[in-house]
Amino acid sequence: MIRFLFWILIAAISVTVGCKSESDDVRQATVGATDMVHQQLNWRERYLELGRETYESACAECHDEGKDGSPTMGDRDSWANRSPLWSAVLIEHAKSGYLGMPAKGGQPELSDNAVQAAGEYMLSVTFPELPFD
C-alpha cells in the first residue's frame, strides 16, 4: 500500500512539474511574441525616421509646396487621379525619375531603400489610416 501511495505521489509530482513547464513555456512564448511585436514597431519607427530624413533632404523642396504639379505631402486631393498602383508606381518613379522629377530627388547617392522609405513616409503622413506593409 505504501508503495502504491509512493507511486501516486510520484505521478502527481510529475504532472505538477509538467504543468509548470508547460506554463513556463507558454509564458516564455508570450514574452517572445511581445518582444517580436516591439522589435517590429521599432523597425517601422526607424524605417519611417529614415524616410523622414530622406524626404527632408531630397523630396521636401518640391513636395512641400507642390512644385511643378508634384503631389503635396499631406494633401490627399493632390494625390487624386494617380495610378491605381500608386504606391508601387510612386516608389519606382522616385527611384528612376518621372517627367520633371529627378531620380532619387536629384541625389544619386541615396540608396533604393532610403528612397523607398521616403515614399512610405510620405504615404504614412498623407494617408495615416492605410496599413503599412
Q: Is the pLDDT of residue 66 over 60?
A: yes
Q: Considering only 32-36, 52-56, 62-66, 91-95, which range has the smallest mean pLDDT?
A: 32-36
Query: Tens of pLDDT along 110-127?
Result: 999 999 999 999 988 988
pLDDT at residue number 49: 96
Cα dihedral sign for 125, 75, 105, 91?
positive
In the chain, what are the domains?
Answer: 24-126 (1.10.760.10)
Residue 109: exposed, middle, or buried by beta-carbon count in 10 A (0-12, 13-18, 19+)? Answer: exposed
| pTM beyond 0.75 | no
